[in-house]
């Protein structure tokens, strides 16, 4: 939390406003933000070792258990009563998944995930109101899920959630096409679609419905079109995906990349003045060995020193070791996931 407050102050200094620390319910933040709490009683075999992958074509939720090794996870596939899904979040307090059901244009809850067996059919235990048209990425924060509505101009929709009830909370108009978001404490990061831009909203936690003005926006040098992002506050590491060609759907199945930015807070503040985070401030995974063509979502684990990727063009889950330098690295694990569209982890 100290890292979050210091970073917010730094950005506010750039925008020439006063920085004041606001009180935060630490128990609430610890319980929900970034899947921090693992207190729910669940099977030890699945506790804190699972990777969840949505599909926008198959009507399946794929779950990989990486407890034994990143290179040889066990796997189970669960059936859903809808075919097209995107953003996926795991709530450890309730052993529930919140998923963007694009078929019905609604956020849904799926309960008792750890108890489900391979091949089981999951029926949603809650469905939210249909308040988005083109749902994409999402993130779990406090007792809410924010969903991206990738329309023109872009929109964010926030819901109160639990495994039994999902209700509309707030709606925000951000003024640009948006693909994915990550909430960190009281702040929010967003991907501007069809661009190389990363956008920062300070104090999103307290924002009211309506127009939402961003605090800062920077471009990522060398990035063609970004889609997925994840941030680890403990190590101050940001990871972004590059899907390559920005003219409609990518024309190449091998032009994707991952961008890793360490010491992200200082680099972003410096870039807020120049408008760009340069190549020298990035580590890049790209090349023919990577299997990266259209990496639409990403999750990072500093405990396991790994990056997990939903790769849409190759229709796979890819797992990479966290690199120390740029390179053309092969994934340590690659597995078919038809229609792979989003990924999250519970560790």
d(CA 308, CA 329): 14
The candidate with the shortest Cα–Cα distance to 290, out of 324, 270, 272, 316, is: 316
Backbone CA torsion sign across 217, 28, 344, 78: negative
205 pLDDT exceeds 70?
yes
- Per-residue pLDDT of 69-103, as tens digits, reads 999 999 999 999 999 999 999 999 999 999 999 99
114 pLDDT exceeds 60?
yes
42 vs 119: which has the higher pLDDT: 119
The candidate with the shortest Cα–Cα distance to 256, out of 268, 240, 267, is: 240
| Pairing state between β 216-220 and 276-277 | parallel
User: What integer pLDDT is reported at residue 273 of this predicted model?
Assistant: 84
Mean pLDDT across the chain, nearest whole number?
87
User: What average pLDDT does range 278-294 have in this prediction?
Assistant: 97
User: What average pLDDT does range 327-334 have in this prediction?
Assistant: 98
3-class DSSP state of 289: coil
Which tokens is 328 given? 């053309």
| Location of structure tokens 């309506």 | 210
d(CA 226, CA 212): 21
244, 259 contact by CB (below 8 A): no
Domains contained in the chain, CATH given: 42-345 (2.130.10.10)
How many residues comprise the chain?
Answer: 347
Confidence of residue 47 (pLDDT cuts 50, 70, 90): low
Per cent of the chain over pLDDT 90 is: 82
């Amino acid at each position: 939390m100290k890292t979050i407050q210091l970073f917010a102050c730094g950005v506010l200094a750039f925008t020439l406003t006063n920085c004041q620390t606001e009180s935060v319910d630490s128990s609430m933040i610890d319980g929900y933000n970034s899947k921090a709490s693992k207190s729910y009683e669940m099977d030890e075999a699945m506790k804190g070792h699972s990777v969840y992958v949505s599909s926008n074509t198959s009507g399946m939720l794929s779950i990989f258990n990486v407890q034994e090794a990143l290179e040889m996870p066990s796997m189970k596939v669960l059936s859903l009563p809808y075919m097209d899904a995107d953003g996926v979040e795991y709530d450890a307090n309730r052993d529930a998944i919140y998923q963007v059901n694009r078929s019905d244009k609604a956020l849904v809850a799926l309960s008792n995930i750890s108890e489900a067996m391979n091949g089981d059919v999951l029926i949603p235990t809650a469905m939210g109101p249909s308040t988005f048209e083109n749902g994409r990425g999402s993130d779990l924060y406090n007792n809410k899920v924010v969903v991206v509505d990738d329309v023109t101009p872009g929109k964010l929709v926030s819901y109160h959630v639990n495994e039994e009830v999902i209700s509309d909370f707030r709606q925000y108009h951000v003024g640009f096409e948006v693909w994915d978001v990550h909430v960190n404490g009281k702040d929010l990061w967003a991907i501007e679609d069809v661009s190389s831009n990363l956008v920062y909203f300070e104090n999103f936690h307290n924002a009211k419905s309506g127009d939402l003005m961003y605090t800062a926006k920077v471009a990522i040098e060398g990035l063609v079109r970004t889609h997925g992002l994840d941030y680890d506050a403990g190590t101050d590491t940001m990871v972004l995906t590059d899907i390559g060609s920005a003219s409609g759907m990518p024309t190449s199945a091998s032009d994707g990349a991952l961008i890793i930015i360490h010491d992200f807070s200082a680099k972003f503040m410096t870039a807020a003045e120049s408008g760009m985070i340069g190549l020298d401030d990035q580590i890049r995974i790209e090349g023919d060995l990577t299997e990266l063509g259209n990496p639409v979502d990403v999750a990072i684990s500093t405990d396991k020193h790994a990056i997990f990727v939903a790769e849409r063009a190759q229709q796979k889950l890819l797992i990479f070791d966290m690199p120390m330098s740029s390179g053309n690295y092969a994934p340590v694990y690659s597995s078919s996931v038809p229609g792979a569209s989003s990924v999250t982890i519970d560790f």
